[in-house]
Amino acid sequence: MRRTILALAIAALALPPLALAQNQVPSCVTVRHEARWGAGAYNHVVIVENGCERPVRCDVATDVNPHPTQVRVDPGGRSEVVTFLGSPAREFTPRVRCEEVR
């Protein structure tokens, strides 16, 4: 039992911090996700919409692809981030962290 807990703790530490965080976005930012069917598999897409008065910089990752992609979204803008192509699974969980930039 202790070995299992230790192994899980070590595995969790090996993941990038973003993969462990819940979505942390300003209230004026909307995050959605879709699994789009194409070419016999699902493409994982995270959509970030900025309703803020300033641009936002976001790190976008998922439970399937924990390596973050950074995007900048202007006020009133939208960005679609493809995080995985050709997945057999249509379910995934986005992990997004955004902050307003000056």
Question: What residues does each domain of the chain span?
Answer: 2-100
Parallel, antiparallel or unpaired: strands 69-73 and 29-38: unpaired
pLDDT beneath 70: ranges in the chain: 1-22
In whole numbers, what is the pLDDT of the chain averaged over residues? 86
The predicted pLDDT at position 98 comes to 97
pLDDT tens per residue across span 57-66: 999 999 999 9
Q: Which of 12, 18, 5 is nearest to 93 (CA)?
A: 18
The predicted pLDDT at position 22 comes to 65
The CATH superfamily holding the domain 2-100 is: Alpha-amylase inhibitor (2.60.40.20)
